[in-house]
Amino acid sequence: MIYRSQLVGFGGYLPKRILTNDDLTLMVDTSDEWIRERTGICERHIVSEGETCVSMAVEAARQAIDYAGMSAQDIDAIVVATCTPDKIFPSTAVEIQKALGIKKAFGFDVSSACAGFVFGLSVADNFIRCGQAKNVLLIGSEVYSRILDWKDRRTCVLFGDGAGAVVLSAVNTETERGILGCYLHTDGQYADLLYVEGTPAKFQDQCFLRMKGQEVFRHAITKLSEVIEEALNDHNLIYRDIDWLVPHQANLRIISRMGAKIKLPPERVIVTVDRHANTSAASIPLALNEAVRDNRMKKGDLIVIEAIGGGLSWGSALVRL
């Protein structure tokens, strides 16, 4: 039997603390107008005491498992996309496994920065396609507030914390629904455009995210356009076949450019960056969770997912909901 992966569960968690642009003006030389014009961001969620990469992921996972109508014991594998784990090891996935009481699954983390969810989606999909797992829990969970230099207005205004989760289940390939394909790329020659300096030993006070914003923006437009074209061409699809674009939520200007590129009206592009900022690997599952739960997305809709992050790493996925 040949299987395909279908998205059957969705969940999300955002920290209780909200940091607005006006709040940031008290911390760094910036303004609400400056941030909105360049990024589209109005506010972001930041962890408080007791909220961690694991705790956020656990809450998002519980919601996704419940949405799928499953119990924790139905999960065969746990894949966590994160580059801000609570510990160097063990993996975030096994900490989540313990918290949820999952007995039979195996789990591990994937580190591909903001492209982490797309890379994790491909990994989870391949486990199902090869028959190694029937139900995979995929989570993106990030605590970027840990690695931000709050004196650098070029980066600290861009990011937020949060977690999103999906459950993928095996279905017969005779169905038209499910993950049609994932398309992944990296190019290490651009590694110095977006990175975290320092080492885990200096994680708390000297391990900061650094970014060459204009160059990342330029590569994002080109590479994301190409990887969407790659996905569509592989399935003999055209732009008007797409029902929804679920982009990585990095910058409203990038999101708007990509929506226009594939000729989708703004109401068919899922946007959360204004309220969440860039939550890295958590941004796409958080956006999916919101759009599914408010009934914008329907069964049978064709969704394009895309993301780019440090590495540079980028990818896309075609999903028939």
* Best CA proximity match to 158, nearest among 315, 313, 309: 309
Domain endpoint, select from 172, 190, 206: 172
User: Is residue 53 annotated as part of the catalytic site, yes or no?
Assistant: no
Determine the pLDDT at residue 175: 75
Domain endpoint, select from 141, 172, 203: 172
Which DSSP string do the residues of 224-290 spell out, in sequence order?
Answer: HHHHHHHHHHHTT--GGG--EEEE--S-HHHHHHHHHHTT--GGGB---HHHH-B-GGGHHHHHHHH
Q: Do 17 and 66 lie in a common domain? A: yes
Domain endpoint, select from 172, 201, 219: 172
User: Is residue 42 annotated as part of the catalytic site, yes or no?
Assistant: no
Instruction: Provide the phi-psi class of 311: left if phi over 0, else alpha when psi is between -120 and 50, else beta.
Output: left
The mean of the pLDDT values for the chain is 95
Q: Which of 135, 251, 278, 289 is catalytic?
A: 278
Q: Do 212 and 145 lie in a common domain? A: no
Q: Using 50, 70 and 90 to split pLDDT, how confident is the model at 98?
A: very high
Q: Of all helices (H) and strands (E), which one includes residue 254?
A: helix 252-261
> What is the mean pLDDT of the segment spanning 43-59?
97
Contact 192, 242 (CB under 8 A): no
Determine the pLDDT at residue 206: 67
CATH number where 300 lies: 3.40.47.10
Q: Do 107 and 200 lie in a common domain? A: no
Report the half-sphere exposure of 263 (CA within 13 A, side-chain side): 6
Q: Which of 114, 219, 251, 289 is catalytic?
A: 114
Tokens of 248: 């990585």
Determine the pLDDT at residue 168: 98
Q: Do 136 and 223 lie in a common domain? A: no
Determine the pLDDT at residue 200: 53
Tokens of 104: 């039979």
Contact 100, 139 (CB under 8 A): no
Whether 24 has a pLDDT exceeding 50, the answer reads yes
Residue type at 166?
A: V
Q: Do 143 and 276 lie in a common domain? A: no
For the chain, helix (H) and strand (E) counts, in that order, are 10, 13
Residue type at 210?
A: R
Contact 155, 212 (CB under 8 A): no
Contact 15, 43 (CB under 8 A): no
Q: Do 25 and 118 lie in a common domain? A: yes
Q: Do 185 and 151 lie in a common domain? A: no
Q: Do 167 and 18 lie in a common domain? A: yes
How far, in Å, CA of 300 to CA of 236, rounded? 17
Tokens of 271: 């946007």
Q: Which of 45, 83, 156, 248 is catalytic?
A: 248
pLDDT tens digits, one per residue of 170-205? 998 777 899 999 999 999 999 999 988 865 544 556
Q: Do 292 and 228 lie in a common domain? A: yes
Whether 247 has a pLDDT exceeding 50, the answer reads yes
Q: Do 275 and 313 lie in a common domain? A: yes
Q: Number of folded domains in the chain?
A: 2
User: Is residue 126 annotated as part of the catalytic site, yes or no?
Assistant: no
Contact 120, 305 (CB under 8 A): no
Q: Do 135 and 201 lie in a common domain? A: no
Which DSSP string do the residues of 9-50 spell out, in sequence order?
Answer: EEEEE--SEEEEHHHHTTTSS--HHHHHHHH---EEEE--TT
Name the residue range of residue 302's domain: 178-320
Q: Do 210 and 110 lie in a common domain? A: no
